């Protein structure tokens, strides 16, 4: 099984499929990330606010996997955007992860009420220039936020990590990002289990046709859309299931039928609400 990589606008390659650890209990993180690494994942998506960077770091160290075979993302939380705070925050994340450099560092939310996301982006550029991350990007940024940060720095993020699944595709953001060469990372790729995607007819029909589960069909849809995904699960069986996407292909009609499931079905917070 080999996971495809995609090239970001700075030349860095990222595995298109990874493992996300939002809501993975810090006490269980080392074990669950170890399960994911043993299953074959090499790309881990965490964040300072998840409180589990130390557990991720312990699993990485114990795995013995060479650093250059791993792709590690973490994120700057909203209360560290002002002044030089981002510079301190990355050092804290690196210490918790036990790494000298992450592969991708993201501004977690624009947090517009604080008014500091442009400053945060300026500091991200400095953090990359200092070699503490290979790539920099943003999360939950709408076109207005992307315009502001690019205008201020001339530096285009490598990715925008946004809520995206068949019921909520955010085409306004993805079209704008595509024009700028920003890759989309889809968080909540399975609708966080909150949106009944698996019961939708095109998903169930494709699952039956290919002998796959509905979750695998939704994840395969993302892969064929070109999205970068990192589904989360605590269960070893589902961790393996979510990796087993590369021995089948949705037909153009199946892909289109799933794309037609757009319902404005946002399952989590809107960027204007998170500050």
Q: Does 107 bind ligand NAD (CB under 6 A)?
A: no
Beta partners for residue 75, in sequence order:
106
Q: Does 121 bind ligand NAD (CB under 6 A)?
A: no
Of residues 14, 21, 59, 120, which one binds ligand NAD by CB under 6 A?
21
Q: Does 196 bind ligand NAD (CB under 6 A)?
A: no
Q: Does 166 bind ligand NAD (CB under 6 A)?
A: no
- Of the candidate spans 93-101, 120-128, 129-137, 225-233, the one that interacts with ligand NAD by CB under 6 A turns out to be 225-233
Among 47, 28, 3, smallest CA distance to 219 is for 3
Query: Residue 149 and residue 147: Cα distance in Å, rounded?
Result: 6
Q: Does 16 bind ligand NAD (CB under 6 A)?
A: no
Of residues 8, 15, 17, 20, which one binds ligand NAD by CB under 6 A?
20
Query: Residue 123 and residue 90: Cα distance in Å, rounded?
Result: 10
Least Cβ distance, residue 167 to ligand NAD (angstroms): 11
Q: Does 232 bind ligand NAD (CB under 6 A)?
A: yes
Query: Residue 239 and residue 232: Cα distance in Å, rounded?
Result: 8
Q: DSSP assignment of 40-102, as one string?
A: T--EEE--GGGT-HHHHHHHHHHH---GGG-EEEEEE-GGG-STTHHHHHHHHHHHHHT-S-E
Give the binding-site size for ligand NAD (rule: CB under 6 A).
Answer: 23
* Dihedral sign computed on CA atoms, order 255, 260, 261, 262: positive
Residue nearest ligand NAD (C-beta atom): 20
Cα dihedral value 137, 16, 42, 53, nearest 10? 30
Least Cβ distance, residue 207 to ligand NAD (angstroms): 11
Give, as ranges, the residues between 44 and 103 that touch ligand NAD (CB under 6 A): 45
Q: Does 161 bind ligand NAD (CB under 6 A)?
A: yes
Q: How many residues are recorded in the chain? A: 275
Q: Does 241 bind ligand NAD (CB under 6 A)?
A: yes
Query: Residue 180 and residue 257: Cα distance in Å, rounded?
Result: 27
Query: Known catalytic residue: 195?
Result: no
Backbone phi, psi, residue 60, to 5°: -60, -45
Q: Does 153 bind ligand NAD (CB under 6 A)?
A: no
User: Is the Cβ–Cβ distance between 147 and 180 less than 8 Å?
Assistant: no
Q: Does 271 bind ligand NAD (CB under 6 A)?
A: no
Q: Which residue among the candidates 41, 50, 117, 195 is catalytic per the annotation?
A: 50
Of residues 124, 190, 250, 261, which one binds ligand NAD by CB under 6 A?
190
Of residues 9, 34, 153, 192, which one binds ligand NAD by CB under 6 A?
192
User: Is the Cβ–Cβ distance between 132 and 95 less than 8 Å?
Assistant: no
Of residues 158, 233, 254, 258, which one binds ligand NAD by CB under 6 A?
233
First to last CA, the chain: 40
Of residues 189, 212, 250, 261, which one binds ligand NAD by CB under 6 A?
189
Question: Which stretches of the chain bind ligand NAD, using CB under 6 A?
Answer: 20-22, 45, 108, 139-140, 161, 187-193, 215, 230-233, 238, 241-242
* Residues annotated catalytic, as ranges: 50
């Amino acid at each position: 099984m080999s996971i495809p990589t995609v090239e970001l606008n700075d030349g860095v390659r990222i595995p298109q499929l990874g493992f996300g650890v939002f809501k993975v209990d810090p006490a269980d993180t080392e074990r669950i990330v170890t399960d994911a690494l043993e299953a074959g994942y090499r790309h881990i998506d965490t964040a300072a606010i998840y409180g589990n960077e130390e557990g991720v770091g312990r699993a990485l160290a114990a795995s013995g996997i060479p650093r250059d075979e791993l792709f590690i993302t973490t994120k700057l939380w909203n209360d560290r955007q002002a002044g030089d705070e981002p510079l301190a925050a990355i050092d804290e994340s690196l210490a918790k992860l036990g790494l000298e450099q992450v592969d991708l560092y993201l501004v977690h939310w624009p947090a517009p009420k604080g008014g500091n996301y442009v400053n945060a982006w300026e500091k991200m550029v400095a953090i990359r220039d200092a070699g503490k991350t290979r790539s920099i990007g943003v999360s939950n940024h709408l076109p207005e936020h992307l315009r502001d940060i690019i205008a201020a720095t001339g530096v285009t993020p490598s990715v925008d990590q946004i809520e995206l699944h068949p019921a909520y595709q955010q085409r306004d953001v993805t079209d704008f990002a595509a024009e700028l060469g920003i890759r989309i990372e889809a968080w909540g790729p399975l609708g966080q289990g909150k949106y009944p995607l698996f019961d939708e007819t095109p998903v169930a029909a494709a699952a039956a046709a290919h002998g796959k589960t509905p979750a695998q069909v939704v994840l395969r849809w993302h892969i064929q859309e070109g999205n970068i995904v990192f589904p989360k699960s605590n269960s070893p069986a589902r961790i393996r299931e979510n990796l087993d996407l590369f021995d089948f292909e949705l037909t153009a009609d199946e892909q289109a039928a799933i794309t037609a499931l757009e319902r404005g079905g946002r399952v989590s917070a809107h960027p204007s609400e998170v500050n």
